[in-house]
Structure 1
């Protein structure tokens, strides 16, 4: 819906004209926009520019959690496991390709936070980091973050990492920033678009928070996402791209969604939110 420009020809004073234009623009931006699932442009903008930091106009509020609540985030727990191995100036010597050594890969996977389908069903074994996406992404995110550094094929904590190592909420804040905005969501796939899913990922979290009480198909969420961002749609594989990145990988790794195993590889995978999703995020109706 365009901004109302009626009755603007009666202003002789440019200052008065600018004031009324500014007023109408604010009114326009505060009204729910078509395709935004009830959100106004200014609330969508808050998701784009501020999330996961809390903003008065954002539809989502990220909550401070207790240690037992934070333990429900698998990717956070894996990140903290690696950080613990680096506590106090310790290092992990990486392979020539920059990967975690097999012993650390096995130790991390055996923590049981994230399970690999192929390993759990006997098609593969825990061996090299590059064969286990759930392990590889943990090391990649730690390297990209401000919590660790890699020098001479050795991984160690930064001063910031040492400082906040016991603060799970601070580490989660860093994890969300890195995963949502700095890590390339297309890293693990060959889909044409690098942007699908990663353009305003907070909107997808808003959708799963709003509608995830019951199982719904991934297509339900993909349709709403592409209604909001139609410029991202280019071919028939875009729904699968959104499903794979948003639900099969990153929201699942964060512990925000649960997916029945029987629909894991279905074109219309079934998705519901987890209790952890409700703990971490609240809807804000302002």
Structure 2
């Protein structure tokens, strides 16, 4: 059945009309942003001028890169009986001080096991999802792709594979006790667009969380009235996943701390170059 020309025209107009709730992004662009984020038609693209200086300022990538180099140097890493990185590897990676853990730095906990530092654990798991590391028989080894990219010092391709795996495959909910629904991770690129649009001025997490919720209102239904309101829980969940463990981990923002520790209620974030 052929759709009448006037109806087809109206559909095209609607799908390509900027929407206020999506900050002027059209439904068609949102579709690409959600389901084909890195395609030519998506509003989000990798920059052409990503150089070593830029890569050096991405903390989680630096952890992943050093992790790959450890495997390259030692040929393999033998995991603990529980399938985690051994303490020796954890300490070597943490001592690079790419991402400091507040609890470790304050002395509240000591770095004994992989679960003591979620940034290192997240980086390790993401390298596997990115096809750079292979786990078999309780050991981690480099894949053929990982080996080739390291030998040719192709840092940019390692970063792209790592970043895409972190945003599309690694479950952000794995690191917290909030609902397993992809709050923050779904349409992470929309948050990047918001940061590009508003990040020149310091803003609190709530500023962005409110706009994200307006664009994706169904996420509030996954929170119930318990220890705080659904809105407060949503804002906290979005803040931890998007700002604490994505934007900061990838060097997208700097934070103006109001207290000794990161406080998502009061701290203000500003985008980096």
Structure 2 distance, partners of 1:260, 1:106, is 28
Match of 1:242 in 2: 238
Cα distance change on mapping 1:121 and 1:262 into 2, 3 Å: farther
1:208-219, aligned counterparts within 5 Å?
Answer: 208-219=195-206
SS of the residue corresponding to residue 174 of structure 2 reads coil
Q: Structure 1 residues 118 and 230 mapped into 2: Cα distance closer, same or farther (>3 Å)?
A: same
Q: Is the contact between residue 129 and residue 165 of structure 2 (CA under 8 Å) also seen in structure 1?
A: yes
Partner of 2:170: 183
Q: Equivalents in 1 of 2:208, 2:168: separation in Å?
A: 20
Partner of 1:66: 51
Structure 2 portions without partners, runs of 5+: 222-229
Relative to 1, partners in 2 of residues 1:193 and 1:100: Cα closer, same or farther, differing over 3 Å? closer
C-alpha contact 1:74 1:255 (8 A) present in aligned 2: yes
Return the offset for 1:89. 8.1
SS at 1:216 equivalent: coil
SS in 2 for 1:206: helix
SS of the residue 1:271 aligns to: strand
Name the structure 2 match of 1:267.
Answer: 265
Alignment of 1:163 with 2:148, yes or no, is: yes
Structure 2 residue 81 is the aligned partner of structure 1 residue 96: yes
Q: CA RMSD in A?
A: 1.8
The one-character-per-residue Cα deviations of 1:10-61 (angstroms, maximum 9, x if unpaired) are xxxx74x53332222111111111310111111111211222x2423x3333
Answer whether contact 1:185 1:194 (CA < 8 A) is retained.
no
Query: In 2, distance between residues paired with 1:28 and 1:266?
Result: 37
Taking structure 1 as reference, are residues 268 and 43 closer, same or farther at Cα in structure 2, changes over 3 Å only?
A: farther
CA contact (8 A) 2:258 2:266 kept: no
3-state DSSP of counterpart to 1:72:
coil
User: Could you tell me whether the CA contact under 8 Å between 1:184 and 1:194 is conserved in 2?
Assistant: no
Deviates more, 1:148-157 or 1:135-144: 135-144
- Cα offsets for 1:153-175 (capped at 9, x unmatched): 11001111112222111111111
Structure 1 outlier segments of 4+, above 6 Å: none
Distance in 1 between residues matched to 2:149 and 2:111, nearest whole Å: 30
Partner of 2:186: 199
Q: May I ask how many residue pairs the two structures share in their alignment? A: 259
Greater relative contact order (CA < 8 Å, ≥ 6 in sequence): 1
Q: Which segment is superposed worse, 236-245 or 252-261?
A: 252-261
For the 8 Å contact 1:180–1:198, the answer to whether it is kept is yes
Residue of structure 1 equivalent to 2:226: none
TM-score, structure 2 as length reference: 0.89
- Bigger Rg, structure 1 or 2: 1
Distance in 2 (CA, whole Å) between partners of 1:163 and 1:71 is 20
Task: Report what 1:37 is aligned to.
Answer: 23
Contact 1:148–1:161 (CA under 8 A) maintained in structure 2: yes
- Aligned with residue 142 of structure 1, among 119, 127, 130: 127
Does the 8 Å contact 1:88/1:162 carry over to 2?
no
Any idea what SS the aligned residue of 1:68 has?
helix
1:150 CA drift (Å): 0.5
| Corresponding position of 1:82 | 67
Counterpart of 1:49?
35
